[in-house]
Structure 1
């Protein structure tokens, strides 16, 4: 077992000292779907000392195409992802301490888990949690690595509080497309490339080689053979509410988070975004047509799926009929609407 990390230690930017540093570090991965699975396995194999993983979901058949920690048996038994992931990761490297939490991340829960965390990895499926991560990172001065992938397109960016523009600054300049894996699909090479870049950034930071961290926002399309780096250093905003001179950390406030309400007597859950979203119903109809029968008028769009009905209003409010489980409603919302 003494030669487990021998090839990694031969890599001079890590070396013997760097390997010792890795074994003393603690990484938090939020989400253990596609990106989280790949990142967790790579970090466990690299010998990170502690790994905390968070996810609210269980393993499904559609996960197996790209989420590398899981098996058919996990899907058959609907095992929570963090439980299946921990079992697999411990079998890969029993020396790593792995802490698994089945939870839907919110401000209070995430804050309680940040004790002794050195860096966070974004492997989430929605921007509510990403903006929450961003504000927590700024408030507690914890670096984090953003990552996203859909179709054959991926993006990643490393955020070091006090040194780089934060996600709030970034998305003022680079808008979200609204595409999701459930609406346009995903291929596994996209996942692996994003995760590889994320893990490389984590390793750089953990061994103290911050000069090597990527300063640009990286995007690529592996199918179209395209690769871009966007210089974002100048978009840092001194008035940013998350990382500016007088931060208020708006995304840690309930007011700025997506709200879910169970509509009593109607077998439905209402979801309200923190700010109004004005959808293009013609585009949305095309996006949702594979999921059910579409009806629309100037005020709302309805999608009748097999076991629920999604009703989207012009201000972005959504009512999901036929659902009483808040977690299931959230899953549908983020999968179909981004």
Structure 2
């Protein structure tokens, strides 16, 4: 196995000692879309000993333009992203451990997922989840790396609890509106550049070279040939509710999490029930087959009636496709599932 990582070991910043540290580390990747798949592949190839990948969604045709672990067969079968990613990553590196979870991330799930984790990578598509990650990071003193991209614009920022200003310091409040991939789209090269920044920082943290970490927030626009860095140290706030002297981690309160959420670029609304329960998809399939068309795999059930399509996961979440109207999505949810 020494030959496998020989070029990485030759790099003075890592060496044999750093490679051993990578083998003993555990990274949690939240999201298995464009950023998540690219980061997972790099860390798997680098020999990070344990990877946990979490995502709530399945592979669709529009993902293939930029989400590098997936194939046309995955899209055809509507395979859950983490299942397809785990399969491919195990083919890439059979010597590491990969955990895959088909779940929607809430504070409850994150409290369980972060056990034994050395680093959290943000590969999500909304600030609701990012602020939860931020609070979990501060509460348990786990470094995390923020990343985002839309259009040709990308951004990355590394957060060390107790050292860096946290995301709440920078944002103060969750942004409402603004640029999304729904309105601007996204090109693959900007995805790859954000991945490069995130994973470079990840390797520094996992090999315990924190003195080499970038101290600034970096942003760039590849199409317009622009790049900038922002010095953020002065933005750390003593009164911050997430990382300040009297932090109470407000985004870990379940009541502050979104119950109905419009998914970026999908014309889809996710409905998350108030109570957590495991759904009997087999029994539900029999019931719904009397009303419309049902397709099922071991992980999810798809129900189509007229122009409406609902996809139900075992954890009770439902994706209502074909609408950005949360009220209409809730109506369809209750009509057929509630």
TM range (shorter): 0.7 to 0.9
Aligned length: 280
SS in 2 for 1:53: strand
- Aligned residue number for residue 99 of structure 2: 99
SS in 2 for 1:105: coil
Q: How far apart, in 2, do the equivalents of 1:116 and 1:215 lie?
A: 26
Kindly report the root-mean-square deviation, in angstroms, between the aligned alpha carbons of the 2 structures: 2.3
| Match status 1:71 vs 2:71 | yes
SS in 1 for 2:4: coil
The structure-2 alpha-carbon separation of the partners of 1:59 and 1:162, relative to structure 1 and needing over 3 Å to count, comes to: same
| Match status 1:324 vs 2:332 | yes
- Aligned residue number for residue 215 of structure 1: 215
Q: Could you tell me how far 1:310 is from its partner in structure 2?
A: 4.2
Asked if 1 retains the 8 angstrom alpha-carbon contact of 2:55 and 2:101, the reply is yes
The correspondence of residues 225-236 of structure 1 with structure 2, limited to 5 A, is 225-236=225-236
Asked if 2 retains the 8 angstrom alpha-carbon contact of 1:220 and 1:228, the reply is yes
Q: How far apart, in 1, do the equivalents of 2:328 and 2:52 lie?
A: 33
The structure-2 alpha-carbon separation of the partners of 1:177 and 1:270, relative to structure 1 and needing over 3 Å to count, comes to: closer
1:281-316 alpha-carbon deviations (Å, 9 max, x no partner): xxxxxxxxxxxxxxxxxxxxxxxxx975545xxxxx
Q: Could you tell me how far 1:167 is from its partner in structure 2?
A: 0.4
The structure-2 alpha-carbon separation of the partners of 1:245 and 1:225, relative to structure 1 and needing over 3 Å to count, comes to: same
SS in 1 for 2:227: strand
Asked if 2 retains the 8 angstrom alpha-carbon contact of 1:308 and 1:320, the reply is no
Q: How far apart, in 2, do the equivalents of 1:114 and 1:161 lie?
A: 15
Q: Could you tell me how far 1:270 is from its partner in structure 2?
A: 8.4
The structure-2 alpha-carbon separation of the partners of 1:269 and 1:154, relative to structure 1 and needing over 3 Å to count, comes to: closer
The structure-2 alpha-carbon separation of the partners of 1:60 and 1:310, relative to structure 1 and needing over 3 Å to count, comes to: closer
Q: How far apart, in 2, do the equivalents of 1:175 and 1:219 lie?
A: 17
The structure-2 alpha-carbon separation of the partners of 1:187 and 1:325, relative to structure 1 and needing over 3 Å to count, comes to: farther
SS in 2 for 1:142: coil
TM-score (norm 1): 0.79
| Match status 1:253 vs 2:253 | yes
Q: Could you tell me how far 1:173 is from its partner in structure 2?
A: 9.5
SS in 1 for 2:327: strand
- Aligned residue number for residue 147 of structure 2: 147
- Aligned residue number for residue 314 of structure 2: none
The structure-2 alpha-carbon separation of the partners of 1:259 and 1:23, relative to structure 1 and needing over 3 Å to count, comes to: same
- Aligned residue number for residue 284 of structure 1: none
1:49-75 alpha-carbon deviations (Å, 9 max, x no partner): 000000000000000000000000000
SS in 1 for 2:3: coil
Q: How far apart, in 2, do the equivalents of 1:94 and 1:81 lie?
A: 19
- Aligned residue number for residue 238 of structure 2: 238
The structure-2 alpha-carbon separation of the partners of 1:126 and 1:269, relative to structure 1 and needing over 3 Å to count, comes to: closer
Q: How far apart, in 2, do the equivalents of 1:154 and 1:208 lie?
A: 26
Q: How far apart, in 2, do the equivalents of 1:76 and 1:269 lie?
A: 21
The correspondence of residues 116-155 of structure 1 with structure 2, limited to 5 A, is 116-155=116-155
- Aligned residue number for residue 291 of structure 2: none
The structure-2 alpha-carbon separation of the partners of 1:47 and 1:176, relative to structure 1 and needing over 3 Å to count, comes to: farther
The structure-2 alpha-carbon separation of the partners of 1:80 and 1:242, relative to structure 1 and needing over 3 Å to count, comes to: same
Q: Could you tell me how far 1:256 is from its partner in structure 2?
A: 2.1
Q: How far apart, in 2, do the equivalents of 1:86 and 1:52 lie?
A: 9
- Aligned residue number for residue 40 of structure 2: 40
| Match status 1:56 vs 2:56 | yes
Asked if 2 retains the 8 angstrom alpha-carbon contact of 1:269 and 1:319, the reply is no
Asked if 2 retains the 8 angstrom alpha-carbon contact of 1:269 and 1:324, the reply is no
1:224-274 alpha-carbon deviations (Å, 9 max, x no partner): 11000000000000000000000010000123222349xxxxxx9989xxx
| Match status 1:21 vs 2:17 | no
The structure-2 alpha-carbon separation of the partners of 1:325 and 1:43, relative to structure 1 and needing over 3 Å to count, comes to: farther
Asked if 1 retains the 8 angstrom alpha-carbon contact of 2:106 and 2:257, the reply is no
Asked if 1 retains the 8 angstrom alpha-carbon contact of 2:159 and 2:166, the reply is yes
Q: How far apart, in 2, do the equivalents of 1:133 and 1:248 lie?
A: 14
